[in-house]
Amino acid sequence: MSARTSSGSRGAPSTPSRTAIRGLPPALLAAAAVALASAAEPRPQSQDEPLRAWARAHLAELVDVYREFHAHPELSQQEVRTAARLAELWRAAGCEVTERVGGHGVVAVIRNGPGPTVMLRTDLDGLPVTERTDLPYASRETAAAAGGGQSGVMHACGHDVHMTALVGVARFLAAHKDRWRGTALLVGQPAEETLIGAQAMLDDGLFTRFPRPDVAVAQHCDAALAAGKIGIRAGFTLANSDTVDITVHGRGGHGAYPHMTLDPIVQAAELVVALQTLVSREVAPTEAAVVTVGSIHGGTKHNIIGDSCHLQLTVRSYSPAVRAHLLEGIERKAKAVAASARAPEPTVIVGTGTPALENDAELTARVEAAIRRVLGGGSVEPAEQSMGAEDFSRYGVAGVPILMYRLGTVAAPRLEAARQRGEPLPALHSAEFHPDAEPTLETGVVALGTAAVELLR
């Protein structure tokens, strides 16, 4: 309960003492007696306190759910067991559940009379990362790797936390229908890591087969934010993300006779440098943009010049105009390098992408105020913009006001110890990332539950 509602709050209305009311007319004496009796009674519990108390009381069982999800992750578009388990937990909470929406997506509905429809979203998939945390519930799962062989699988991005928190919120909403009105739409989205799951669910009728939400809210783990804290900001928070594959073509031959070839590796080297000028010389310094060449593959042996070289790029931006300029510029630069070498025109393929995530200003302000009221102002911090990407943005593009805020995951002592050592904490997608489960889940349930109840008042 906040200081504003406690009986000792500064500025709280005072009640008259018995000495002060002696000699008053009978009618006023009666009124004063009622005031004294009311003051002697305990104040009613804060409207928000039951959620905090519920989260604490059920934390142990939620930690068990979290450990189960963490120990058994599945890759994008393979979330069969994860989706089935989430559906089972939501059904047990009293939800209407539909499975296999947009692949392995799960949709749960809790109806509670007329009112707004609020969507709460979690993601389901893990990453091809071999866990190195030494936790007793660490993942031992493996899966076929993209390049062949086997890879470990890990929830290295906090999706296990997201799922567990939404299980907790579902249980609270189903058991406390006296505190809200409307419809809660719970969405378990597959394939977030490959940035295709949101669109797949939309294409499969998420907003037509089920109640169309008035707003949508999600939370995302933050590997550098203290557990118990929330990071939030309005406007752009995550970037446009695009992948680009470029194959430069040449004419192969002997490495000792380069004059008889059209060397694709030299073309690739020139292109890597040329691409950097897109950001440094073609995009305004006040705009955010990144062009990273993450992979180059060409050639087979020291003394052989091959016929082609393959480059893989990730491209990040915020504004649609900058996004379009970067993609056009990449193709232009690739063609120019090939032309200068009298080589065949390169093959440029723009692949999987997702638009920038823009938090609705009004929705953000309303949820932030509610979370500050419940967790305390010191628990809420302004979030920084990031060049990371999230396909939760797709729901905003589909016309629904959205908000994604950040959830702290690192217990304060562990955070402080790392700072004193001058060592960075394991980042998201790291094999060593691990949230401190208890404080993270308690805050996650309270924050997301507070947002839901606030928006469903």
Residues labelled as active-site residues = 125, 192
Alpha-carbon distance 206 to 401, whole Å? 15
Helix (H, G, I), strand (E, B) or coil at 26: helix
- C-alpha distances in angstroms, 87 versus 16, 200, 287? 57, 18, 42
Give which of 281, 277, 288, 276 is closest to 318, Cα–Cα.
288
Neighbour tally for 295: CB within 10 Å: 11
How wide is the angle at C-alpha 431 spanned by C-alphas 425 and 435, nearest 5°?
A: 55
Biggest CA–CA distance in the chain, Å, is 116
Distances (CA, A) of 226 to 168, 386, 412, 415: 21, 18, 6, 7
Strands 182-189 and 235-238: unpaired
Continuous segment of H or E residues that includes residue 120: strand 117-123
Contact present, 83 and 101 (Cβ < 8 Å): no
Q: Read off the tokens for 441.
A: 């889940």
| DSSP 8-state secondary structure symbol assigned to residue 127 | B
125/194 Cα distance (integer angstroms): 9
Dihedral over alpha carbons 20, 23, 27, 33 (to 10 degrees): 40
215's tokens: 């707003």
Residues with Cβ within 8 Å of 397's Cβ and at least 6 positions away in sequence, in order, are 355
Burial of 42 (0-12, 13-18, 19+ CB in 10 A): exposed
Name the token pair of 317: 């931006």
